[in-house]
Every structure is written in structure tokens, then in C-alpha cells.
Amino acid sequence: MAEGGKGTLQVSAVSMNLNGDRENSAIPITTSLPMNGGKGTYSYFNNSCSQRQCTEDEKRKFIEEIEQKLDMKKLFSLSNTIRLADLGCATGPNTFMIIQDILEAMQRKHQSQLSQSCFNDVQHSDDHQMPEFQVFFNDQESNDFNTLFTSLPQDRQYFAAGVPGSFHHRLFPESSIHFVHTSLCLHWISKSPEVLQNKASPTWNKGRIHHTSAPDEVVEAYASQFVEDMENFLNARAKELVPEGMMVMILVGIPKGTPYSEIPMGMMCNCLSSSLMDMAKEGIIEESKVDSFNLPFYAASLEEMEEILEKNGCFKIERMESTNPAAYLKGGPVDIPAWVTNVRAAMEGMFAKHFGSEVMEEMFGRLTDKLVDIADLINSRCEVKSQLLAVLKRK
């Protein structure tokens, strides 16, 4: 899912060394990569159930919005084909399940409006047919589209197409898409902030791989990159969506004022940093490798998202709220090994690119041990509302 790209990109930049001298250096900027492909032990296809469970309650809510506020009659009047896009589709099966739910909700809404039109006898018979549906599955160019398309449901009620490319830019012709869905992808920013590599700056993120437990300057650098990427994303979708087309966004979030280190994913980041630093001290990896790696994801607050959307001005907010993504646990404990496997399926590409695939077993094994040691603390923070749902309509 996730859109962006896990890996490293060498960028030539000018920075300051510790003596205050200007120097040219190659700065490793971490970018996100697609989820693990295939259907193997650590593939995303076989290890994305927690992501699916985290969106299950959100599905009920945005299906309600479709049924109440999406005007299928108007959309159908613009085109006999209704086009949906799932951005950050990964390899399945989650994308197929959610698309089917959305499509069925749109069919029900169309049928409901059709019945009302027939009752009022105001529609021509040509308008009484069910529209055809086309679904565009989008992810980065290096996503495993082979696994995606060989796994397509045989009984699907739509025409399927793949669209490779970053969703931070335009993907479709102007006013061609009627519905956009993106789940657990938009917290992946296009790249880690370049200023994190400046050793003479307060943004130098030494010994950490994320803004978790970092100085305010590091957090602000991440927030600035997130704002830039969200502005690009919204501007692109504003061009592509038809008027009154709908967009559903589900992404990792955080309550305003809550330190990221106090939610489970932040604890995961701290344990990853600690595991890598331990490996550096033991000579398994280089410490400079840890210092130059920064996970490119940012969890925004509801207030931050509202401000970004208000500034953009192209969308009406139909529904927006913070939710608890771990509600599916129903008070039960987090399965730490399963959680780590899910994280590995989503993030391994980035770590392997930067640190080498040969140390992945060691790194994720140490991570599991550290998380097991703080399992009680993790379970005590699972009630935090660390997910955002936004249902928008194009003005």
C-alpha cells in the first residue's frame, strides 16, 4: 500500500560539517517502496490482516456516506461508466475486498435512486440501466502488479486496470474519476526530509530512524514534508475527480498534543531504533547507516488535516474523525509476533535497501524481543485514537 517508495535515493546537496564549513555531500534520502510482493512467508498478500481489520469499522462509516450523500444519478448522467480508483493498492487481497464493498454500495444507491425516479416517472428508460464500473488499481511502478492481477476475483463486476506511479502527482485525465479510495497509505510521505542529514543542525536525527522521541525541529521537518505532499495529492485529485465525486482517505493519525512515543506505532519505531543501534555497537552494521536512515512516514492530527483541506479549498468535508484502529482487539492483547510480521511485510524493502537483506532476520528478531518486553505498555495504549477517516466530495 503504500505509495511512495521504500529505499534510498542519492541526492547531491550542500551541507555544513561540524566545523561550520560548507561541503558537497551525497545525502541518502529515504523514500518508501511498495509492500513485499509475491505470496511468500513475509509477503504483504499473506500478512495484511491487521490493516484489513483496522479499516473494517471505517468501512461501515464511509459506506453510510455513499448511501446518504453520493448522487449516483448525477454521476451516471455524466458517464455510463463509473470509474473508481484505489490508490496504494499493493498486491491484494485487501484492495479487492474494499473495492467490492464500495461497488456494491454504489449499486445499491443507484438502484435506490432508480426506484425513486421510476416512482416519480421522471426518468427516461435509457437511464434505468445499471452503470458499468471500471476500477483502476494504483501503486508505485515497482509494485508487484503480477501478484495483484493474478489474484483478481474471477467473479468481479468491474473492468480492472493497473496505473503505476506516485499518487503525489497526477495519474488520470481531468474530470475522469468518480470515486477515489486510499487506505493506510497517505501517512507515507514522498521522502524523508533532507534537513535531517545536516549534522550541524538541530534537525540532525542521530541515533533515531523516525521523529519518534526526536527534538521538535525533527518533528517539524516531518510535518512540513507531509503538508507539501498532501497539498500535491489534493491538487492532483481535484483535477481528476468529477464535480461531486467522492474520496475516502484512511490514514495513520494521532491526537493533537500526544507524543508519538506514547502510541504503539511510536513504540515500534523506538524499538527499531534501539535494535539497530545495538547491532551497530556489536559491529553488525555501521552506526552511520542508522544515522542516515529516516522512515518516511508522518502521523497527522485531525486539526492538521482540517487545516490542509481548508487551505486547499477544493473539497467539502462530509465526514472526518479520529478513530481507534485497534478496536478489533476488543480488549485482548496484541499478538506481537504477528504484528512484527505485518510490519515486516510493509517496511522490509526500505530497511533491506539501506542496511542489506542479510541482516533482516536479526533486526526483526530483536524488534520482536524488545516489543515483547514492553507488551503491557503497548496494550495499555491501544485505545488511543491513532487513525483518521476523511470522506470528501469534490466541490
In a domain, 284, yes or no: no
Q: How many CA atoms lie within 13 A of 129 on its CB side?
A: 9
- How far is residue 291's CA from residue 351's CA, in Å, rounded to a whole number? 13
CA distance linking residue 106 with residue 321, whole number of Å: 23
Look at residue 7 in the predicted model and tell me its pLDDT: 34
Residue 280 lies in a domain: no
Which residues have CB under 8 Å from 209's CB, separation 6+?
Answer: 269, 272, 273, 276, 290, 293, 294, 295
Nearest in space to 123 (alpha carbons), one of 132, 135, 111: 111
Beta-carbon contacts of residue 288 (< 8 Å; ≥ 6 apart): none
CB-side neighbour CA atoms (13 Å) of 4? 32
Compute the distance between CA of residue 347 and CA of residue 272 in angstroms, rounded to an integer: 12
Residue 65 lies in a domain: yes
What are the mean pLDDT values of the chain's consecutive 10-residue runs (395 residues total)? Answer: 36 35 54 93 92 86 95 90 97 96 96 73 58 97 97 96 97 98 96 91 93 96 97 98 97 94 95 97 96 96 97 97 80 89 95 96 98 95 93 97
- Does residue 286 fall inside a structural domain? no
Tally of domains within the chain: 1
Residue 218 lies in a domain: yes
Domain residues for the domain of 128 are 6-257+296-328+382-394
Encode pLDDT of 275-304 as tens digits. Answer: 999 999 999 999 999 999 999 999 999 999
Residue 363, in any domain of the structure: no
Residue bearing cell 482540517? 306
Cα distances (Å, whole numbers) of residue 149 to 86, 93, 175, 205, 230:
14, 10, 26, 40, 28
pLDDT of residue 77: 87
pTM: 0.89
Separation of alpha carbons 227 and 186, rounded Å: 11
Q: Check which CATH number belongs to the domain holding 200 and give it.
A: 3.40.50.150
In a domain, 339, yes or no: no
Q: What percent of the chain has pLDDT over 70?
A: 89
Q: Looking at the domain assignment, is residue 200 inside a domain?
A: yes
DSSP state of 188: B
